[in-house]
């Protein structure tokens, strides 16, 4: 009876560890969070670097399928490099990463919308430019 109780606790601890690591890895999709970690000095600590190496198992398909933000895997890979970890302290680098991530998401969303749109559905009409005088021109 006691052995069953110990196994249940161990399973519960494993479930909690899985959830905590999943949440942390997904937070890495946010360049502002990486910048926060860098400013606080975490990216310089060897124990944190070792933890980042340990988290590489999230790249395996069995684990990656739980991720909502796959961009985090790219940043997880970049964090393996010391030069990248050093640069993350810079607010300019953080802003650049954030801008690039937004551009990627916008491009992906537009491309996905076009791909999923049936070919017989016409494109939605564009709003006329408010700076024009008179009716919009028709092609």
The 10s digit of each residue's pLDDT in 6-33 is 456 788 899 999 999 999 999 999 999 9
pLDDT tens per residue across span 41-65: 999 999 999 999 999 999 999 999 9
Q: Can you name the CATH fold of 11-115? A: Arc Repressor Mutant, subunit A (1.10.10)
Q: Give the whole-angstrom CA distance, residue 138 versus residue 132.
A: 13
Q: Model pTM?
A: 0.67
Look at residues 58, 57, 38 and name the one whose alpha carbon lies nearest to residue 48: 38
Q: Residue 78: count other Cβ atoms within 10 Å of its Cβ.
A: 16
pLDDT at 135 over 80: no
Give the pLDDT band of residue 38 (cuts 50, 70, 90): very high
Longest dimension (CA), the chain: 83
Percent of the chain residues topping a pLDDT of 90:
51
Q: What is the dihedral of CA 12, 14, 17, 22, to 10 degrees?
A: -110
Q: 1: part of which helix (H) or strand (E)?
A: none
């Amino acid at each position: 009876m006691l052995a069953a109780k110990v196994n249940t606790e161990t399973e519960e601890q494993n479930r909690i560890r899985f959830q905590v690591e999943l949440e942390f890895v997904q937070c890495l999709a946010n360049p502002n969070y990486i910048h926060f970690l860098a400013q606080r000095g975490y990216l310089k600590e060897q124990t944190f670097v070792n933890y980042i190496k340990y988290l590489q198992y999230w790249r395996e398909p069995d684990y990656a399928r739980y991720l909502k933000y796959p961009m985090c895997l790219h940043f997880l890979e970049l964090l393996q490099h010391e030069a990248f970890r050093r640069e993350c302290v810079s607010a300019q680098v953080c802003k650049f990463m954030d801008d690039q991530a937004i551009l990627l998401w916008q491009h992906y969303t537009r491309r996905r919308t076009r791909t999923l749109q049936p070919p017989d559905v016409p494109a939605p009409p564009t709003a006329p430019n408010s700076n024009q005088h008179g009716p919009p021109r028709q092609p």
